[in-house]
């Protein structure tokens, strides 16, 4: 079972890269919501390829239709179905290599799980293209959260060994980051951003790809959201984040660096700031016992290098069960990270909405 | 909602550190299973404190009773309830400091979420003590998996800046690791293990604590388990792992190192080994597209330093809303990692069982 | 939360009577299934209006598109989305009476729940039209069940005070009922069927409507499906049946007649028939302890008279909060029962599939 | 999967008739609730056998312990586990007949589903004894509902062919029914109640049993609770009601009588009463489109005659697969209906609580 997620609001995803299209059904939205169509389009554009040099030049229109759940421009409370038609795909590209399971793609595992009946064209249901549906749903979730002043920002924290500043940096204030969303290549340190872009171009020129890390912060979250044990805030967020193709790790607050820290360094001391309880540091990333502390919820997600590269690779012909060589043709992102940002933010918004009592909203 | 988890088999946890006890209800177990009581006890002992120098010397008996679901020493298929009575706790210890929210503990967030009605003694329902119930459930899950030759091993990968070898090391074969489970301080490199233990002792002597990383491998998993999107294998495992108190990050395969890799380095090439499809490397940790590849499923989890330290800390009195100092008395683990291993393995076993069609079992 | 149902296979319904259309996403279908399109169309035709005198003469094309989950004419295992476009509706009909909440319709309750933002045209999301999506999903479920020889039949058991024979009648054998599905007005006793049709015509001539009862049997179900307590076979079936608009009661086996029976009459005695354990009678309708016995699973569902009648009715203007009169114009079914049969069978098929271990399939 | 139910509050049932005991875990209760222990005991007493002539004389103490989730006499918000120890059962009674599957009991279906590993003593997990756990949970749910003025009443509507008045009777006002809960044999018409009791005694004298119908009303429910389609109010209530052993049918409002009614008779006309929208009649039992109307929610449930009778019955020896005779010894309820009332009310309370936004509470 894989296509439906959520407790407060249920999201059901469907579609394939080279079929009729992709879509998502969103159930239990509050009624009376007037969707900010232009903001939804903006989010989808952030995910779209073709906008600059370091992502694939393949065109995807991502024009969405809303098939249900809207009346007089407002949500009705009934399930909202969004559908994005596929256009302009060249399926024939895939026939030539359809039996050659692409390394680090889902071709092999999909073949085994679905007994060879999976739609292999462009990865089919496993395609990163389906993240457009997640971005749509996330844009709706963001709108609901924004009415409660909760906002989500993210930036490219790392590309290869090039590292941006962190949102945890105490010398920076949250106000300094509001511009990230409108940047085409969002980094805190603009100069490091330029070097990162050059690095991606270099890698592309070699027919290769490169990985990276996204850092995300959820701001103005009230304290008290989440649960102990099986529905901890980390559990809920991580569950949805690992639905994003290519995501291989998540850490909250100081994350893996906590291994090298002592309790006397890692413990976030409480103190009163005006009449609010705050922590001096935020090594726990705004979550204690699976529940929000009211501090910024900060986490990092790592994306592997795009599996599709122009270089020749070894693989297996799944029908013949023989070793063979694979040479992929086509335009591919040399680095998925810039396009992953709006997807990570969308998943973050959906996760938070699932932990907020709907009464609060 | 937090206390129930699972689709195939449902686990419902309950209890508090200083109440009557803790327990877990396991629903939908296959009937006719003769529980390996001695193995369950062994797993619980691995988690128990007091066994050596670098964990807390507090005694917990962890004697479990099975209240239902067993008849003539075998599972009946009806819900199995395991209960572990609490003994020998000194609740009065906690009255003195009950309004002083301990840094990096759940005291503050539990207070907010539950409006001050939470059982604060020893962390109450948030206590690491509840992981004994998870270890029990995991031992049952392990037994079911072992009948299909699936096994789970783990070791202490990192304490402070001291790092063991990795289970991903190609020069080591899986056969070399079977002894890890029976080690009191499981590391691949025994000499680094000794240094780690010394480091923990040193930290303890300072009244401080230290973090660390656990590395885990699930062996002999068939290819094809898991799902794309919302119930990816990573999603399922991460969801349950983040239920473990103190866990702040998870990465699969090469995880965060993938940020620094190129596609040409990170892609796991397929090849035929005898008549089986394998990958030459395992940077994806045995998962592609959210589905198992048949290679070892490898992941790392980071645990923060034990929040309870003997050193004086700044905090807030939650009733008076004033800054104050906190001096904790009592015996605490200087490092939670050695005791976390059986808990991580238990959660791994439960996760896998949730992804395996029960028919397979 | 209302739009998603199911554990083995998840169904997510969406759409409105007078919006873009209606649809359903079916997740976790077995891969490789070649859908019997002609049989699906047949089922949809059985539900369609306009086919004879005793149902509404309004035309609904019910042409479905499959937007995902199919490749090379077979299911892929990925979510299958079916969409049925709306055509030819006259929304203006509804503007005149939109504030007059129709008695026994969902106008009032939808208005309250959705704060007036619901799509009121033709009942919107509450319309019986959405049962076309259920019939589609049920046709797929039926196909899967039929591969295991499980079949579902139903007939019009009662219209007004006119009563057909029962499928529980011991003098009739199951073989006698295979023709029911292809009848336009399925009754066991054809002559009583003719009288029923006349009764419906008479009621229609008066501008009134009438209720009735559907009796359904699921044949060749293996013993052992279902669960005690919260997921009893009766619970699962009843849950889904009560999703059908207009359904107000369900009874299994002898149902409400059991109130008048003694244990010595109602107990179904076991006996050996060849090497199979059977019961001599079937007052329990093929279910004991929430689990199938292997005997035919028999149940009855009652449908209220169509709420839309031509006669003047008293109601309230929801905006003005004043008493008023309502005169409905338009073509309406004088009796919903004949069109309910394929919907009940569809829900039965979906319910059973949810109780069958997918491994069995 | 069977042992866990609920969305807002999750209930997990466990235990067997002749094992250690029975229990229930209730997750997500609001914190700070001071349980009315005496009222809980009263509800359990209503279900207890041995209180009069027409129920079994077997003694069950039903002393409950609360193992978790309570601190300083109030709910903490963490899972509450209630356990009721078994006492005084004579398991040896069951050894003699353990291979003789009792007609209309779950012996056969449990044997098949659980491959013979089920605890057969007294029905094991399938025993009516587990309804004590449901009554406990329902008493907690009732307390929460009562804080919002929502109350639940029920009476014995039918025993054999003896019929009480209905709660739908327009000539009776709701105020007339508050005494039902404290009656030992609750009927609206006391004289018919006396005849019913005589009928049960007569049946008991013959070694036989008899069925009956419970009618229930939920009062002061606000309009707008429930959902269209898969989580209709009827779906939710029916789902849980069919978890009660021996329950074989449910109808809302006029239920099966609607088959004989015309729309002009069955439609509940709206009118303004003071400033509230009411319906003149309540044939829909307070539910339209799966959502509450604000009128009393009225439904009837039918219970089959107690399967355990003293008369000789035909059955099969499940081990030998041969026809045989069964003579049950022991004390059994000649009619389960009087003891079913508190169970039906408990399930009603739990169902309603599942449909109420927790924010409302």
Phi then psi for A116, rounded to 5 degrees?
85, 0
**If residue D154 lies in a helix (H) or strand (E), which one and from where to where?**
strand D151-159
pTM for the full model?
0.96
Looking at residue A15, its pLDDT comes to: 97
Contact call for residues C62 and C131 (beta carbons, < 8 A): no
Residue B358 pLDDT grade (very low, low, confident, very high; cuts 50, 70, 90): low
Structure tokens at C307: 């709420």
Residue C283 pLDDT grade (very low, low, confident, very high; cuts 50, 70, 90): very high
The 10s digit of each residue's pLDDT in D42-57 is 999 999 875 555 545 4
The 10s digit of each residue's pLDDT in B130-176 is 999 999 999 999 999 999 999 999 999 999 999 999 988 766 676 67
Residues of chain C with Cβ-Cβ distance to A361 below 8 Å are: none
Looking at residue D265, its pLDDT comes to: 97
Q: Is the pLDDT of residue C56 over 60?
A: no
Structure tokens at A319: 């029908």
Q: Is the pLDDT of residue D194 over 90?
A: yes
Query: Mean pLDDT throughout A159-169?
Result: 92
Query: Mean pLDDT throughout D322-351?
Result: 94
Question: B126 or C48: which carries more pLDDT confidence?
Answer: B126
Query: Mean pLDDT throughout A278-288?
Result: 96
Q: Is the pLDDT of residue B313 over 80?
A: yes
Which of A359, A360, A361 has the highest number of chain D CBs within 10 A, making it the mutation to test binding with D? Answer: A359
Looking at residue A347, its pLDDT comes to: 98
Residues of chain A with Cβ-Cβ distance to C32 below 8 Å are: 114-117
Looking at residue C325, its pLDDT comes to: 96
Q: Is the pLDDT of residue D92 over 90?
A: no
Q: Quote the CA–CA distance of D3 and D191 in Å, as a whole number.
A: 41
Q: Quote the CA–CA distance of A107 and B279 in Å, as a whole number.
A: 13
Beta-sheet strands, E only, within chain A: 4-5, 10-15, 21-27, 64-68, 70-71, 74-75, 80-85, 151-159, 162-163, 212-219, 247-252, 270-273, 276-279, 287-288, 291-292, 297-303, 313-317, 322-326
As a whole-number percent, the residues of chain B with pLDDT over 90 amount to 83
Query: Mean pLDDT throughout B218-237?
Result: 96
Q: Is the pLDDT of residue B331 over 80?
A: no
If you ran DSSP here, which 8-state letter would residue D51 be given?
S
Residue B322 pLDDT grade (very low, low, confident, very high; cuts 50, 70, 90): very high
Looking at residue C329, its pLDDT comes to: 83
Looking at residue D262, its pLDDT comes to: 98
Looking at residue D96, its pLDDT comes to: 72
3-state secondary structure of C2: coil
Q: Is the pLDDT of residue C52 over 70?
A: no
Residues of chain A with Cβ-Cβ distance to B280 below 8 Å are: 314
Residues of chain A with Cβ-Cβ distance to D360 below 8 Å are: 359
The average confidence (pLDDT) of chain A is 92
Looking at residue A93, its pLDDT comes to: 65
Q: Is the pLDDT of residue A300 over 70?
A: yes
Least confident of A240-249, A299-308, C345-354, D1-10: D1-10
Which of B2, B4, B107, B134 has the highest number of chain D CBs within 10 A, making it the mutation to test binding with D? Answer: B4
Q: Quote the CA–CA distance of B146 and A122 in Å, as a whole number.
A: 37
Q: Is the pLDDT of residue A270 over 80?
A: yes
Contact call for residues B99 and B319 (beta carbons, < 8 A): yes
Other C-beta atoms closer than 10 Å to the C-beta of B45 total 12
Least confident of D38-52, D163-177, D186-200, D314-328: D163-177
The C-alpha of C259 sits at a distance from chain D's nearest C-alpha, in angstroms, of: 4
Looking at residue A49, its pLDDT comes to: 75
The 10s digit of each residue's pLDDT in D242-273 is 999 999 999 999 999 999 999 999 999 999 99
Query: Mean pLDDT throughout D59-73?
Result: 87
Residue pairs between chains C and D whose CB atoms are closer than 8 Å? 368
Least CB–CB distance from C359: residue in B7, B78, B357:
B357
Query: Mean pLDDT throughout A337-348?
Result: 97
Looking at residue A90, its pLDDT comes to: 61
Contact B289 A245 (CB under 8 A): yes
The C-alpha of C231 sits at a distance from chain D's nearest C-alpha, in angstroms, of: 5
Query: Mean pLDDT throughout A219-224?
Result: 95
Looking at residue A48, its pLDDT comes to: 87
As beta bridge partners, residue B158 has: B163, B213
Q: Is the pLDDT of residue B334 over 60?
A: yes
Contact call for residues C303 and C338 (beta carbons, < 8 A): no
Looking at residue D60, its pLDDT comes to: 55
Looking at residue B97, its pLDDT comes to: 79
Query: Mean pLDDT throughout A86-95?
Result: 70
| Candidate ranges A162-171, A177-186, B155-164, C1-10; pick with highest mean pLDDT | B155-164
Looking at residue B53, its pLDDT comes to: 53
Residues of chain D with Cβ-Cβ distance to A360 below 8 Å are: 359
Least confident of B47-51, B215-219, C120-124, C166-170: B47-51
As beta bridge partners, residue B25 has: B12, B81
Contact C15 A68 (CB under 8 A): yes
Q: Is the pLDDT of residue C254 over 70?
A: yes
Q: Is the pLDDT of residue D360 over 60?
A: no
Question: C51 or D149: which carries more pLDDT confidence?
Answer: D149
The 10s digit of each residue's pLDDT in C186-224 is 999 999 999 999 999 999 999 999 999 999 999 999 999
Least CB–CB distance from B1: residue in D10, D19, D115:
D10
Q: Which of D299, A317, A89, D266 is nearest to C242 (CA)?
A: D299
The C-alpha of D83 sits at a distance from chain C's nearest C-alpha, in angstroms, of: 18
DSSP string covering B188-217: SSHHHHHHHHHHHHHHHHTT--B-EEEEEE
Contact B292 A109 (CB under 8 A): yes
Q: Is the pLDDT of residue C174 over 80?
A: no
Q: Is the pLDDT of residue A345 over 90?
A: yes
* CA–CA–CA angle D61, D62, D63 (5° rounding): 95
Looking at residue B116, its pLDDT comes to: 95
B89 sits in the region (left: phi over 0; alpha: psi -120 to 50; else beta) called beta
Looking at residue B332, its pLDDT comes to: 84
Looking at residue B2, its pLDDT comes to: 80
The C-alpha of C290 sits at a distance from chain B's nearest C-alpha, in angstroms, of: 13
How far apart, in Å, are the Cα atoms of C33 and each of B155, C141, C215? Answer: 44, 11, 30
The 10s digit of each residue's pLDDT in C111-141 is 999 999 999 999 999 999 999 999 999 999 9
Phi then psi for B260, rounded to 5 degrees?
-95, 0
Residues of chain D with Cβ-Cβ distance to B84 below 8 Å are: none
The average confidence (pLDDT) of chain B is 92
Comparing alpha-carbon positions, the chain D residue that sits nearest to C254 is D248
Least confident of A176-180, B167-171, C354-358: B167-171
Q: Which chains touch D (3 or more CB pairs under 8 A)?
A: A, B, C
Contact call for residues A216 and A285 (beta carbons, < 8 A): no
Structure tokens at C128: 């019986």
Residues of chain B with Cβ-Cβ distance to D125 below 8 Å are: 68-69, 76, 78-79
The C-alpha of C340 sits at a distance from chain B's nearest C-alpha, in angstroms, of: 33
Least CB–CB distance from C357: residue in B78, B228, B359:
B359
Question: C147 or D173: which carries more pLDDT confidence?
Answer: C147
Looking at residue A208, its pLDDT comes to: 97
Looking at residue A59, its pLDDT comes to: 56
Residue A231 pLDDT grade (very low, low, confident, very high; cuts 50, 70, 90): very high
If you ran DSSP here, which 8-state letter would residue A222 be given?
P
Query: Mean pLDDT throughout A236-257?
Result: 98
Q: Which chains touch A (3 or more CB pairs under 8 A)?
A: B, C, D
As beta bridge partners, residue A226 has: A291
| Chain A interface with D: residues with Cβ < 8 Å | 7, 78, 228, 357-360
Residues of chain A with Cβ-Cβ distance to C75 below 8 Å are: 117
The average confidence (pLDDT) of chain D is 92
The C-alpha of B23 sits at a distance from chain D's nearest C-alpha, in angstroms, of: 9
Q: Quote the CA–CA distance of A258 and D353 in Å, as a whole number.
A: 42
Contact C117 A10 (CB under 8 A): no
How far apart, in Å, are the Cα atoms of A222 and each of A296, A332, B99, C254, D206? Answer: 10, 41, 21, 55, 67
Residue C2 pLDDT grade (very low, low, confident, very high; cuts 50, 70, 90): confident
HSE, side-chain direction, 13 A CA sphere, residue D76: 27
Comparing alpha-carbon positions, the chain A residue that sits nearest to B232 is A243
The 10s digit of each residue's pLDDT in A19-62 is 999 999 999 999 999 999 999 999 999 998 755 555 454 555 67
Comparing alpha-carbon positions, the chain B residue that sits nearest to D118 is B76
Q: Is the pLDDT of residue D21 over 90?
A: yes
Residue D178 pLDDT grade (very low, low, confident, very high; cuts 50, 70, 90): confident
Domains of chain C, start order: 4-360 (3.60.150.10)
Phi then psi for A134, rounded to 5 degrees?
-70, -40
Q: Is the pLDDT of residue B56 over 60?
A: no
């Amino acid at each position: 079972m894989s296509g439906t997620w959520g407790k407060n609001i249920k999201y059901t995803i469907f579609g394939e890269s080279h079929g009729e299209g992709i879509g998502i059904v969103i159930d239990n939205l509050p009624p009376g919501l007037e969707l900010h169509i232009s903001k939804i389009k903006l989010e989808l554009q952030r995910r779209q390829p073709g906008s600059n040099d370091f992502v694939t030049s393949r065109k995807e229109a991502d024009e969405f239709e809303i098939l249900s759940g809207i009346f007089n421009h407002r949500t009705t409370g009934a399930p909202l179905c969004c559908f994005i038609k596929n256009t302009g795909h060249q399926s024939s590209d895939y026939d030539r290599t359809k039996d050659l399971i692409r390394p680090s793609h889902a071709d092999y595992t999909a073949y085994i799980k679905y007994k060879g009946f999976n739609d292999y064209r462009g990865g089919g249901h496993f395609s990163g293209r389906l993240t457009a549906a997640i971005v749509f749903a996330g844009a709706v979730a963001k709108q609901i959260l924004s009415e409660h002043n909760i906002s989500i920002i993210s930036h490219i924290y790392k590309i290869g060994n090039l590292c941006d500043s962190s949102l945890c940096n105490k010398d920076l204030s949250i106000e300094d980051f509001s511009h990230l969303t409108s940047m085409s290549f969002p980094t805190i340190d603009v100069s490091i951003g330029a070097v990162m872009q050059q690095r991606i171009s270099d890698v592309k020129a070699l027919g290769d790809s490169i990985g990276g890390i996204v850092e995300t912060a959820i701001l103005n979250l009230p304290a008290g959201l989440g649960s102990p044990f099986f529905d901890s805030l980390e559990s809920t967020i991580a569950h949805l984040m690992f639905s994003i193709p290519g995501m291989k790790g998540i850490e909250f607050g100081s994350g893996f660096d906590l291994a090298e820290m002592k309790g006397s360094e890692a413990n976030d001391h409480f103190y009163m700031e005006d009449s609010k309880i705050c922590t001096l540091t935020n090594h726990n990333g705004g979550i204690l016992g699976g529940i929000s502390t009211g501090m910024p919820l900060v986490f990092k997600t790592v994306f592997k290098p795009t599996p599709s590269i122009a270089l020749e690779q070894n693989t297996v012909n799944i029908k013949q069960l023989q070793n063979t060589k694979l040479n992929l043709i086509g335009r591919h992102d040399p680095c998925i990270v810039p396009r992953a940002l709006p997807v990570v933010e969308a998943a973050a918004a959906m996760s938070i909405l699932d932990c907020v009592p709907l009464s609060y909203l």
